[in-house]
Amino acid sequence: MPYTTVNFSDVEDFEALPEGEYGVEIDKVEVRMNKAGDGKYLNWEFVVIDGDYENRRLWLITSLKPNALFRLKAVFEQLDVLEGDEMELEYDDDQEPSQSAGPRLIYPDVEGMEASVIVKNELYDGKERNKVDTVFTGRKSRKRSKQEQSRTSRVRSRSRSEEVDDEDDDIEEEEEAPRRSRNSSRNGESRDTRDRPRQRSERRRLR
């Protein structure tokens, strides 16, 4: 009879994350069936993207039952994907929703979005586990990669260069304006000076 030996000595037993705020990315959202089999819900899976608990996962359930839609509405509002009082949710038809898995949500397209979550802890079967209490888009700035920092630096440098060019153009325009004004003034004086002898001569003839 074939058999396989498994070694659990290196399996890490993750403890619940401390309560608090975490920057996350929405990894996937599945449409699943509830335990009673009388309704569906969205199973949200988040990945922590910074800090000491980077790559740890968190979950949230939002029921699709009419009397519990307030939770889903609040999440959609925070993610800025709420379209009004009525929305059509679209998901893959590759599998039927079950209690343990389900098709991925296609619309609204929220996978890959970054957000913040407030995590609280609760006891379940005698163990402390995490519960995502709130989702919102206002997020603490995460540590950026050197590539992102370099790209930002180039953009800022280009912007400063354009601002300097604009300032130089403004200065040249301001310097040019007084010169034009002085030249116009001198030209006007010259014409007046040339016209004065002619005017005096005409007045003598009239006398």
The pLDDT, as a whole number, for residue 167 is 52
SS3 112: coil
Higher per-residue pLDDT: 124 or 22: 22
Q: Measuring CA to CA, which residue among 5, 64, 4, 9 is closest to residue 34? A: 64
Rounded to two decimals, the pTM is 0.62
- Which of 48-62, 64-78, 105-119, 153-167 has the weakest average pLDDT? 153-167
Residue with tokens 């925070």: 78
pLDDT at 50 over 70: yes
pLDDT at 120 over 90: yes
Residue with tokens 């949200």: 44
Give mean pLDDT, residues 11-38. 92
pLDDT digits (tens, 9 = 90+) for 145-158: 454 445 444 434 44
Tokens standing for residue 104:
């991925």
DSSP string, 44-103: EEEEE-SSTTTT-EEEEEEE-SGGGHHHHHHHHHHTT---SS----EE--SS---SS--P
